[in-house]
Chains A and B, each alone.
Chain A
Amino acid sequence: MSLFNFFRRGSAPVARERLQILLAHERTVRGQPDLLGVLREEILAVISRHISFEPDKVQIKMDRGKSVSTLEVDIEIPNGLGAGFAAAQ
């Protein structure tokens, strides 16, 4: 059967790997507060102490990988927030 699979690689190995990565994450966060939600709130709180921005101009992306995950926070900061920043434009 494995030889057969070698020649006709189906989509099952992809399904298997996706599930393994997903469930490894879901099992660690089960019963705990939502990590992504907590990070988002805290990061936004820190930034809003220094500058004001539109909450809906914030994009947060998370990519959960097998060994590392990335959290990407993209905040649109309006111009004219400081001489240095404006000069750079």
Chain B
Amino acid sequence: MAQVLVVTSGKGGVGKTTSTAALGAALAQEGERVVVVDFDVGLRNLDLVMGAERRVVFDLINVIHGVAKLQQALIRDKRLDNLCLLPASQTRDKDALTENGVARVIAELRTKFDWIICDSPAGIERGATLAMRNADAAIIVTNPEVSSVRDSDRIIGLLDSKTAKAERGERVAKHLLITRYSPARAARGEMLSIDDVLEILSTPLLGIIPESEEVLRASNVGAPVTLSNTLSAPAVAYFEAARRLKGEDIPLVVPSASRSILNRLFGRKAA
């Protein structure tokens, strides 16, 4: 049965789009049929991170308004056959999204894909609430930093009250994805530790993505990090998170600073 995921955070710039692209490509490489849907109407970027920015013809709003069929708007990834993108509109505003229209499109996507990953805009306004509206599960992207943790707490509250599942008295499954984690800084007490964040948000951990220059390099070239450098530390962390989403039991190890200290001793940069 298809799973609808929302990748959300409240705060901007924490890695929602990066994580949507990376997890989508990771699941597709596991043989799953995946569509990533951009809900950031007016400020779309998932197309750019996926490297499909020059192939956008129709978008989510066109499909909702009946201007285009879903099949016409879906963009198939050039590297992975079973990975598609449904872009957001760049010219309209978020009011062009309707609750019924979004529900209709998600229902149709459920018949064609195993995973529907909705990339939420930042904030807690209409675009963000519509992105989470039909979700079965949520991935809450959090940086180990005070404003991000606070906003994640707020988003968790919305997931428990504003989603269709919550209104039916059910629960949206929640997974915490900690991104931009720096083991060395956490060890020095300069950054909230994984335990701190978990204790404050009391949400199960899906994965820890270490801070890495690979992420910027991947977005520069328009490839999810799980496609551009599959052996890099963030890619490995995303692959493991994707397999946990599928229900596999993969032990989660908090990245430790020892390796980077060793690397520094030998004059190499940490991955």
A88 at interface, CB cutoff 8 A? no
A37 at interface, CB cutoff 8 A? no
C-alpha spacing A16/B193, complex, angstroms: 9
B167 at interface, CB cutoff 8 A? no
From 195 to 228 in chain B, residues with beta carbon under 8 angstroms from any chain A beta carbon are 196, 200
For residue B186, which residues in chain A have a CB less than 8 angstroms away from its CB? 12
Say whether A9 contacts B189, CB under 8 Å.
Answer: yes
Residues 1-42 of A, flagged 1 when their CB comes within 8 A of B and 0 if not, give 100110011111101101110110011001100000000000
Which residue of the partner chain, among A5, A10, A22, A30, contacts B150 with CB atoms under 8 Å?
A22
Say whether B200 contacts A10, CB under 8 Å.
Answer: no
Say whether A27 contacts B188, CB under 8 Å.
Answer: no
Say whether B190 contacts A30, CB under 8 Å.
Answer: no
C-alpha spacing A31/B166, complex, angstroms: 15
Name, among A4, A9, A10, A12, the residue most crowded by chain B CB atoms within 10 Å (CB to CB).
Answer: A12
DSSP class of B's interface residues: helix, strand, loop or mixed?
helix
B136 at interface, CB cutoff 8 A? no
Say whether B153 contacts A10, CB under 8 Å.
Answer: no
| Interface size of A as a range | 20 to 34
Say whether A13 contacts B189, CB under 8 Å.
Answer: yes
C-alpha spacing A10/B149, complex, angstroms: 18
Say whether B189 contacts A16, CB under 8 Å.
Answer: no
For residue B192, which residues in chain A have a CB less than 8 angstroms away from its CB? 12, 15-16, 19
C-alpha spacing A5/B189, complex, angstroms: 6
C-alpha spacing A51/B209, complex, angstroms: 60
Residues 42-69 of A, flagged 1 when their CB comes within 8 A of B and 0 if not, give 0000000000000000000000000000
Chain A residues in the interface with B (C-beta under 8 A): 1, 4-5, 8-13, 15-16, 18-20, 22-23, 26-27, 30-31
26 cross-chain CB contacts under 8 A: A4-B187, A5-B188, A5-B189, A8-B188, A8-B189, A9-B189, A10-B189, A10-B190, A10-B191, A11-B189, A11-B190, A12-B186, A12-B189, A12-B190, A12-B191, A13-B189, A15-B145, A15-B146, A15-B196, A16-B200, A19-B146, A19-B150, A20-B200, A22-B150, A27-B153, A30-B157
Chain B residues in the interface with A (C-beta under 8 A): 145-146, 149-150, 153-154, 157, 161, 186-193, 196, 200
